[in-house]
Structure 1
């Protein structure tokens, strides 16, 4: 089975920095089976582009929204989960 772990052009979940008080974006929503109410604060390179996170054999896609949120004095861009795609073999 192909994985996205060796794809240098895509963000791996471990490369998206998660920190409780830092970051520039908040990820909302999730695929079925994951907690829908769990927000993740992360740091992304470009807050204007679709975020494609590598999750082993698939990618989770998050779209930037027009919404912003302030947490701990930091302005965060809100990204909403859009869909999941499988890695091509």
Structure 2
């Protein structure tokens, strides 16, 4: 079974995270994206927004909040 990958863009949150090219499984568009950064996690959500780029569409994930790593 083949899983479709979707390119994504991050909006908001730490600027250095937006510079990385990322893709996720298409089925994960409905989930909160949790990215480890420093001493915590940055959380991003997809609200259905896409932007045109490189002859295709990129799913836009917007920053929602940050959580700290439990010690």
Runs in 1 of length 4+ with deviation above 2 angstroms?
A: 38-41
Q: Give the equivalent residue in structure 2 for 1:17.
A: none
Unaligned segments of structure 1, at least 5 residues: 1-22
Offset, 1:57: 1.6
Q: Which structure carries more helix by proportion?
A: 2
More strand by share: 2
Over the aligned positions, Cα root-mean-square deviation in angstroms equals 1.9
Gaps of 5+ in 2: 1-5
The correspondence for 2:51, drawn from 60, 69, 73, is: 69
Instruction: Find the counterpart in structure 2 of residue 44 from structure 1.
Output: 24
What is the TM-score with the length of structure 2 in the denominator? 0.72
Number of equivalences: 62
- 1:25 paired with 2:8, answer yes
TM-score between both structures, scaled by the size of structure 1: 0.59
- Deviation readout 1:56-81 (Å, 9 max, x if unpaired): 32000001112111100121111000
